[in-house]
Structure 1
């Protein structure tokens, strides 16, 4: 499945019943230099639109919301030691957490890459 995006600037890649979640390049650019990331623990239930993680930069602290309902299976521990990965590779090695999906209905209202680009261009 192709990468999908939220209006809150999270991205999600789905492979089977597991999804990887991070923030977009647009979001990291708005935040500036990331200095700290608080990640969810494995086993934590997350809800679509609910806060799941926190990212702090030199400019601000922001919540990272879950694009789907599910259970966290893994957090990207590399971010604890190197939060700058969020700036360096926000849509790659700077991912935040993986979640086991409760179902795929949550994906229906997310944007594809073209729709997300149009959305950010209008901001």
Structure 2
């Protein structure tokens, strides 16, 4: 699995990319592989305030339904309508077209770098 050193990761298998005052959030390839074919996304509504570590949505696959956890405190400013319409994007391009939402972060989240995330998933 190739991990970008430009991204940060959570132990719950989300990634986050900071772009100025906004950050894009998605799930890692490790998570999308474990989920199997993603068939439905329930993402937080625009304007929702989320808190790091709290469930903020759901990802449903042919195998299970899994919670989506907020990677940081902040406000949701955009959801990926293309991924809602075609949840398979989470499987086919989890670090690109399969992003889930954008948020404005409040504070500095405690996140993993690529090496720490690789070490975390090595035993799974």
TM range (shorter): over 0.9
- Which of these residues, 94, 98, 103, is aligned with residue 102 of structure 2? 98
Q: What does the per-residue CA deviation read over 1:61-101, in whole Å, with 9 as the maximum and x for residues that have no partner? A: 01111110000000000112111000000111101100101
Name the counterpart of 1:75.
Answer: 79
- Which of these residues, 7, 10, 20, is aligned with residue 6 of structure 1? 10
SS of the aligned residue for 1:116 comes to helix
Q: Does 1:120 align with 2:121?
A: yes
Gaps of 5+ in 2: none
C-alpha distance in 1 between matches for 2:62 and 2:38:
7
Name the counterpart of 1:48.
Answer: 52
Q: TM-score w.r.t. structure 2 length?
A: 0.92
Q: Higher mean Cα deviation, 109-118 or 17-26? A: 109-118
C-alpha distance in 1 between matches for 2:73 and 2:100:
16
SS of the aligned residue for 1:2 comes to coil
Gaps of 5+ in 1: none
Q: TM-score w.r.t. structure 1 length?
A: 0.93
Name the counterpart of 1:84.
Answer: 88
Q: Does 1:58 align with 2:62?
A: yes
- Which of these residues, 10, 19, 22, is aligned with residue 18 of structure 1? 22
C-alpha distance in 2 between matches for 1:52 and 1:22:
12
Q: List structure 1 segments (4+ residues) > 2 angstroms apart after TM superposition.
A: none
Give the superposed CA RMSD: 1.2
